[in-house]
Every structure is written in C-alpha cells, then in structure tokens.
Amino acid sequence: MEQNNETSGDDFILLGFSDQPQLEVILFVVVLISYLLTLVGNTAIIMVSCLDSKLHTPMYFFLTNLSFLDLCFSTSIVPQLLWNMKGPAKTIPHTGCAIQLYVSLSVGSTECVLLTIMAFDRYVAVCRPLNYTTVMHTSFCKALAGIAWLSGVGNSLIQGTITLQLPRCGHRHLHHFLCEMPAMINLACVDIHANEVQLFMATLVLLLLPMALISVSYGFIVQAMIKIKSVQAWHKALSTCGSHLLVVSLFFGTSSVIYIQPKRSYGHSQGKFLTLFYTVVTPTLNPLIYTLRNKDVKGALKRLLRKEQNS
C-alpha cells in the first residue's frame, strides 16, 4: 500500500479492514457508538460504586476496578482505530504503537487476574457466607487488586519490551487494526520460535490458569447452590454470579481463541473480528450486564438520579 510523503520510516501501517472499504464505514459507526456507550456505562458504574455507601463492598470495589480497566482498554485502542478508519492513511507512529502495545497488554493481563479474583469473591460469598466479612476485608481486597495490577503491568513490561526489540528489517505493515503482541511478533525477520514459546507460557499463566481457577470456583459454587433450599437465596446467588460468569465467558471466550492459536487467527478476518469483539464490544457490554442483571446497581442509579433531581 502506498503511503503519502509525510509517513515516517518508523511509522507502522495498520491495514485493519482496509481490504473491505465499504465495511469500514459501517464499522466506524458501530465502533464509535460502542465507544461512547463504554465511556458512559463504565463511568456511571465507577461513580455509582463510589458515591453510594450501600455499594462500598468487595464486589463493587472489584467492579469499579473492572470498569476502570475497560475504560483504559478501549481508550488505548478505539481512538486510533476510528482515526484510521475515517480516511486512507492507516499509520501509527512507533511511539504510539509502543504505548498502545504496553497499555492494552497491561490492562488485558490485569483483567484476566481481576476476573479470577472476582470469582474467588463470589465463591466466598456463596460458599462461606458467615466468614465473608472476615475474609474479604478492605485491606485484603486492596492487596488482591494490587496483585492484579502488578501482574498486568509486569507482564506488559517484559513481553512488550521483548517484542519491540525484535528486528523487523523494515517490515511495517501490520495485518491488524492495533499493535497487539502476536501481530507484532509476526513482523520479525528472525526466528520467532522462542518468542512464540514465551507467548504460550504467558498465555498459560495469565489466560488458561485463570480460566481453570474460575471453573474450580464455580464448581464449588454450583455444589453449594445445590444444597440451598431457599428460593430467595438461589435467586440472589444467580443474580450476582450470573453477571460475572457472563462477563468471563465474553472476555475469555474470544481472547483465548486469539492467543492460543495466534498464527491461525492473525491476518484472517475472523481473528480481526474476534479481537474487535473483546477489545471494543465487551467493554461496552460489561456495564450493561451488571446494571441490567443487578438490582443493587439499578437501585443505586435511581437513588443517585433522584438525589440530583432534588438538589
């Protein structure tokens, strides 16, 4: 693809969906609407969780972190994606690409760990209700959130730095719409077997292990729920666990396909659309899932709106 004279030799060219120009127009509108909904929905979750004292609980503390992660994730990707889709130029500066790689990798990794912690929180709430306040006390919750963030940032610094240092021999065309690690590795002009092994190990620790731990947590939750006789207790457990389980399914279901089989996924339209789903659509759906399925959040939103009207 020919680029204009203003394109620097260090710039990357994000081909994205440029082979389907008519589709780009539709995607531009869909992505823009999704991004606006992401900003509004996740900001509302953060505000409500912080302002309403009834939501000052471990579950909503972690939900606030999740909403903040979704805001960072979308903002690191979507503005550049919209800019590239609005015109013929598909470039991103080397610095911008590096920032996008570090931020998206850091936030994505953190979200994997955080969703696992949220599953543990639900396990304690359902299976150990009498010990819940003792186990999930404020300092412990902050420590768990800190571990999630440190894991994500640490993984990003290590993996991102190694990926950016790979020699590319002038290769600048990324067959993707963002600077993501598997796509960046494929630009290398050296043997990338070691990098693929490294990527697989990181995927094992930060994607497959969390999925296994979440499955174990929900196995115990299902066991405990079978013993519950109260219909009200059943409904409450399903309400809180159902939202989290749906979010987990959306995020891990799509991202695991991309990272477990990166060679097959990247460079194909299916891989791009799967990435588009978990980077753009999922952050939009998360606040909707938690507000539509959760009476506490809906009640807090009503109280907040009522207070604004009365003031």
Which segments of the chain have a pLDDT < 70?
A: 1-9, 261-269, 292-293, 308-311
pLDDT confidence of residue 311 = 63
Max Cα distance, the chain (Å): 72
Tell me the C-alpha distance between 71 and 81, whole Å: 15
Beta strands in the chain (DSSP E): 12-14, 91-92, 173-174
Tokens at 215, concatenated? 């499955």
Of 134, 143, 128, 141, the C-alpha closest to 63 is 141
pLDDT confidence of residue 78 = 94
Decide: helix, strand or coil at residue 26: helix
pLDDT confidence of residue 273 = 84
Tokens at 97, concatenated? 């690409």
Decide: helix, strand or coil at residue 128: coil
pLDDT confidence of residue 269 = 67
Tokens at 246, concatenated? 């749906």
pLDDT confidence of residue 9 = 59
Tell me the C-alpha distance between 175 and 40, whole Å: 31
pLDDT confidence of residue 278 = 86
Q: Contact, 91 vs 18, CB < 8 A?
A: no
pLDDT confidence of residue 120 = 96
The hierarchical CATH code for the domain 12-303 is 1.20.1070.10
pTM for this one? 0.88
Total Cβ atoms within 10 A of residue 150: 12
